[in-house]
Amino acid sequence: MNFITSKLIWIFLFVGVVLLMSFLKDSRAKNKKVIFFGDSITQMGAQPGGYISLMKDMLSQQNITNYDLIGAGIGGNKVYDLYLRMPEDVIAQSPDVVVIWVGVNDVWHKSSFGTGTDADKFEKFYRAIIQQLQAHNIKVMLVTPTTIGEKNDYSNQQDGDLNKYSQIIRNIAKDLNLPVCDLHSIFHLYEVNNNTVNADKGILTIDGVHLNDAGNKLAATEIWKVLKDM
């Protein structure tokens, strides 16, 4: 092998390595990082059988490989808690999309602990979260809170407030032209059609709030319907 041939081989090898590295970099860059930002429902959603894990399985079965789905839920969190931990837990991770799912504790803790969130403050902090995310060029998707008790005739203790806070989120979505997955309405319709004995739990939740297998499956399916178009 003469000097020129040897040099050409090394050049071709170098170009090949550069092209391969560029291809791998482009492949990674195409992945859309999605952070699910919320409370214990989202914390449990990242565990096996949770709605985030089910969504990963669902995408894998459809050969959709360009999404990185990450759970950022902490039990007991209210909208104010999300606002405080957002810089480190979300913005620092440089996501492409953030799915905000909060509100149950803001309502539930009013009666259970006396530490809930008044409606005006809920809206203020919710909008502040969106504003900061958008300031970092992060797309935002909203999710309305599901249930605090599964009775389908609006006789659960917190139904009034939960409806009110869900409407606040719908109004924000309309005002800011943001995609919203209205799980509150979707879960209620499911209860009407399937909760024939008007049970307080056991249809979509294990305790009236936290999702069971059916609830996780429904949440994963409905959230993906909105997320896939972002």
- Say whether pLDDT at 153 is over 60: yes
A 10 A CB-CB count for 163 gives 17
The pair of structure tokens assigned to 2 is: 């003469």
SS3 readout for the chain: CCHHHHHHHHHHHHHHHHHHHHHHHHHHHHCEEEEEEECHHHHHHCCCCCHHHHHHHHHHHCCCCCEEEEEEECCCCCHHHHHHHHHHHCHHHCCCEEEEECCHHHHHHHHHCCCCCCHHHHHHHHHHHHHHHHHCCCEEEEECCCCCCCCCCCCCCCHHHHHHHHHHHHHHHHHHCCCEECHHHHHHHHHHHHCCCCCCCCCCECCCCCECHHHHHHHHHHHHHHHCCC
Q: How far apart are CA 168 and CA 17, in angstroms?
A: 53
Pick the CATH number of 31-227 from 2.60.40.10, 3.40.30.10, 3.40.50.1110, 3.30.1330.100: 3.40.50.1110
Q: How far apart are CA 92 and CA 95, in angstroms?
A: 8
Q: How many residues does the chain have?
A: 230
* Contact criterion met (CB below 8 Å) for 161 and 212: no
Instruction: Write down the pLDDT at residue 110.
Output: 80
Pick from 20-34, 106-120, 168-182 the range whose average pLDDT is largest. Answer: 168-182
Range 184-205 average pLDDT: 98
Q: Which pTM was predicted?
A: 0.86
Strands 67-73 and 97-101, sheet pairing: unpaired
* Contact criterion met (CB below 8 Å) for 205 and 218: no
The pair of structure tokens assigned to 16 is: 């090949």
**How confident is the model over 27-36, as pLDDT tens digits?**
455 799 999 9
**How confident is the model over 53-101, as pLDDT tens digits?**
999 999 999 999 999 999 999 999 999 999 999 999 999 999 999 999 9
**pLDDT confidence band for 23 (50 / 70 / 90):** low
